[in-house]
Structure formats: C-alpha cells, structure tokens
Structure 1
Amino acid sequence: MYSADLFAGRVALVTGGAGGIGRAVSTALAAHGARVAAADRVAFEPPVPGVQGWSLDVARREDVARCMDDVVARLGRLDILVNVAGIVSMGSAETLAEEEWDRVIDINLKGTFLCCQAAIGHMKRAGGGRIINLGSVIGKNGGNPRPWLDPREQERASNVAYGASKAGVHIMTAFLAKELASANITVNAVAPGPVASAMTTGFPSALRDLIPMGRMGAADEVAAAVLFLAAPQSGFVTGEILDVNGGIWCD
C-alpha cells in the first residue's frame, strides 16, 4: 500500500511499545522508513531494527518530559506521536474501587494528554506533525456487555472507568485537532473494537459472536489505520475518530 520510504527522515514515538498494538505500530512505522522510539514502563526487546526502546511512565509529567526531550536530543526531531499506552479495567460500576478509577484515568486519559502536551512544542519546531491517539469502541457504545441478559458478561469485559477514559481521549482529540491545525499538526484517534491479545483472552464468546465480521481484530489492522493517519497524504484529515471494529459499532 505504501512505499518503504514513506516516513523517511521522520521520527516517531510510540507509547505502550511493549504491548501487542504498540509493537505492531512500531514495526509498521519502521517498515516504512521512520526511526521509531518505542516507550513503555517495562523493559522489552524492540521488535525490529529501526525501533529503539525507551523507558516511560505516561502518568508522570516529569517522566514524559524527560522521555520526549531525550528522544528529540538523540534522534533529532519528533514528527509522529502514537499514544498507545493504556490499561484495561473490568467489572461492574457497583464494585469499582475509587483507586481503580483513578488508576485507569491517570494512565489512559491523563497520560495521553501529558504526552500530547509535551509533543506540541517539538512538533511546532519541526514544522508540523501527526498525533494519533488510541481510543476505543467502548468510549462510544456504552460498553459491549449485556448485563440485563447475563451479568457475568460485565465481569469479563471493560467497565465504566475504561469507557470514560476512552471517551475522554476522543473529545480531547477533537479539541486538540482544532487548536493545533494552524501549526500543521493533525490530531486523530483510532478506536478499535475487541482486538485479540493477551489482555482479551477472557473476552466472552457471546460478545465475540456479535461482531459482524465474525472475529476479533488483529493488532496489525489497528497499525494499518495508524499508518493512514500518520501518512503525509493525510494532512487534511484531523479530528477524526477512525473506527476499526469489525462493524460492532457504526457511526
């Protein structure tokens, strides 16, 4: 679809680089010519040549600033930021602990904002850039479970804290898209549906069967959507929440 030098001369930072989607995004960007900094809280082996590992806790402002400054100092610039870092949370609203709510919001929503905020100055100095956030179908549809039919579905699927964090990512994307357009910085999001990964091994089969495509998504399919939004040809696309969900939610 794209040439191997699509992102030649460009530098990308991918948060959540140790996870399935983060690794797929890092690999795809590197395969098309970008120099990629893949950052995560845990130590990991970069998936392919052209990807370098970085340490980053997205929920800590000082850590975000340190990582961003270090990437620019070592790689020369920052053109693409992909905010993949996030955690899932499951269960009912009735039993949701306040500490769990804070943990999910801190990483998924605040962490995404801190990374966006820290990238703005670097991208302005580079003459523009691409920010792609990871939202979710859960931030749109009120959740996949049907507890009125089977309460057990709620216990094994994403909860209100996760949904609220991702809905926040969606509206933040829209705000930043308008604010940064004049600086030639596009801000978009990819909203995946259920994606097969280590975190979704317990996803209820009854909910999987509701996906019109008849299967869960793959990390590579999410990465393909990120490539489209990061590409130079997508410079007139901003404020978009791109669904990659197999038809489970259409808007």
Structure 2
Amino acid sequence: MSAGANDWAGRIALVTGGRGVIGSAIIEALRARGAIAVCADAGGELDAGGADKSALSTGTLRLDVTNRDAVLALVARIEKVLGPIDLLVNVAGVVSFGSAQDLAEAEWDRVIDINLKGSFLACQAVMAGMKRAGFGRIINIGSVVGKNAGNARPWIDSAEQLRAGNVAYGVSKAGIHAMTGFLAKELASHGITVNAIAPGPIATPMTTSFPAQLKALIPAGRMGAAADIVHAALFLGSREASFITGEILDVNGGMLCD
C-alpha cells in the first residue's frame, strides 16, 4: 500500500496532534514526499492568526481542537496563505485509564471532547474547501479499543484495567468509527473520501504502561510502530485510493480480525 512520490508534490495537508509520535511521523513522511504539511497541536508555539507561509509550512501551530472558532480560524488561515487543504489527518487525542465505576464525569468529558468532538470539528472545518475543490482526503484515527470493548481482561486481572484504555477512550474511538461512515456517505459525491485507521497498541508515550501480558497476545509478536500508521495514512490519503471510503482500516498485528 503505497503511493508514488508525484502524488504528494505541492499537496496541502493539515495534521492535528502533530507533535505526538504518530502525528510527527506522518508530517515527516508527507514533507519528505513534497507535500506542505501543517502541524497543529495543543502544545504548539505559534499563533495561527498571523502565521505566514514559512510558519505554516515548518512550525507548530497552537490549536485547541475542542474550540470550534480556533479550528475554523486555523483552516481559514491555511486556505488563505497556502491554498485549499486536500488532506486532513486527525491524530489529536488523549487516552484514559481506570474502571467505569471510578470514572469522573470531568474525565469522561475531557476524553470525548478532545478525541471525538475535536475530530468532528476539524472534519467540519475542511468540508467547504474540499467541496469547492472537488477533491479531499480525510483520515481519522480510531482504535481497536473502539471495536473490541477494550484490551483489558479484568475478570482475569483487575490491574489490567488500570493500565489499558478505559470506557471513555473506547467510546470516543467507536464514535470516530461511526462518524467516519456518516461523513463518507455524505461527502462521496464531492470527490472526498473519509476513512479511519484503527491501530492496535502502538509504542508511544501514551502506551508505556500497557501490560506485558497483553503485549504477549498480539499475534505479530510486537507492539505497533508509528511507521505502521504512516504507511496506512499515505495509502488512504493518496489519489489512488479514490474508491475506498468509509473504511475502518485495522492496523493491529492480528489482535482483532473482522
């Protein structure tokens, strides 16, 4: 699953959560192929308001994905300075641990707002421009946890639930999967595809506490790497993938086969 280098030259991409392991790897791969990849992250140091071409192309723009006005302003600035966005990759997200019984309401809201609402707001913000262009690729990041009701096996070891994604995380990712299908149908006639990647456990700072006994259950024999997600994103974001939309692509080493 790969696309030729010529497919990316001059294309304009927005990657949220661009400072994380997966987001930064996607940005690096896009730029290496000649794309203009804008990095947006809650920890960004640049304000989108006055960002010029250089800042948009090489810096990290500060973005709260839960703030609709901020998301719209960033997209408008990119379109004004660089041109139409034709690829959006929603990587911004947080993980949450612990039992459902002990889950605080504020934690539920935090996870749903960033993971699900944030992804939707970014999708919504790029739709008009992609429709005008008659072309677009949207890639959302879901999770195997949004399909398998969680990796933890609390009936065997209750401690696993304390170190693996919980119900808030799983619901947020299942919501992303559902959203992907809805948007895929709504946007297909405009030349826009909407797909999601559902990773299994990926070696990042978010998964440092992932239980060793659960790692041992991955048929491929290892945790995933950021590169595994990059390859999937490059394929789904390519022009060659024009007849694939509404797909939830599993990248999980065989943890879940459906």
Residue 57 of structure 1 corresponds to which residue in structure 2?
64
Structure 2 residue aligned with 1:167: 174
Q: Which amino acid aligns with 1:129?
A: G
Q: Cα 1:172–1:199, aligned 2, differ >3 Å: closer, same or farther?
A: same
8 Å Cα contact 1:91-1:155 kept in structure 2: yes
> Which whole-Å deviations, capped at 9, do the CAs of 1:105-155 have from their partners, x for residues lacking one?
000000000000011001112221000000000000000000000000000
- Deviations along 1:81-116, one digit per CA (max 9) or x if unpaired, are 000000000110010000000000000000000000
Partner of 1:155: 162
The alignment yields a C-alpha RMSD, in angstroms, of 1.4
1:1-251 alignment runs, 5 A limit: 1-43=2-44, 51-251=58-258
CA distance in 2 between partners of 1:130 and 1:4 (Å): 17
Offset from partner CA, 1:10-41 (integer Å, 9 cap, x none): 10000000000000111111122210001001
How high is the TM-score relative to the length of structure 1?
A: 0.96
Counterpart Cα distance in 2 of 1:141 and 1:6: 35
Kindly state the Cα deviation for residue 198 of structure 1 after the two structures are TM-superposed. 1.1
Residues 46-101 of structure 1 show CA distances to partners (whole Å, capped at 9, x for unaligned) of: xxx96442121100101100111111112111100000000000110010000000
* Cα distance between partner residues in 2 of 1:50 and 1:42: 17
CA distance in 2, matches of 1:125, 1:36: 20
Deviation at 1:44, TM superposition (A): 6.3
Alpha-carbon contact 1:18-1:44 (below 8 Å) kept = no
In structure 1, how many angstroms separate the alpha carbons of the residues matched to 2:220 and 2:95?
23
Amino acid at match of 1:80: L
Question: Conserved in 1, the CA contact under 8 Å of 2:3 and 2:235?
Answer: no
| Structure 2 SS opposite 1:5 | helix
| CA distance in structure 2 between the partners assigned to 1:155 and 1:241 by the alignment | 27
Gaps of 5+ in 1: none
The whole-number CA distance in structure 1 between the counterparts of 2:77 and 2:191 is: 23
Q: How many Å separate the matches in 2 of 1:188 and 1:125?
A: 20
Give the structure-2-normalised TM-score: 0.93
**Structure 2 CA distance for aligned equivalents of residues 50 and 231 of structure 1:** 20
Structure 2 spans left out of the alignment, 5+ residues: 47-55
SS at match of 1:82: strand
> What secondary structure is seen at the aligned counterpart in 1 of 2:7?
coil
Distance in 2 between residues matched to 1:194 and 1:170, nearest whole Å? 17
SS of the aligned residue for 1:66 comes to helix
Q: Which aligned runs of 4 or more in structure 1 are off by greater than 3 angstroms?
A: 49-52
Alpha-carbon distance in structure 2 between the residues aligned to 1:44 and 1:137: 32
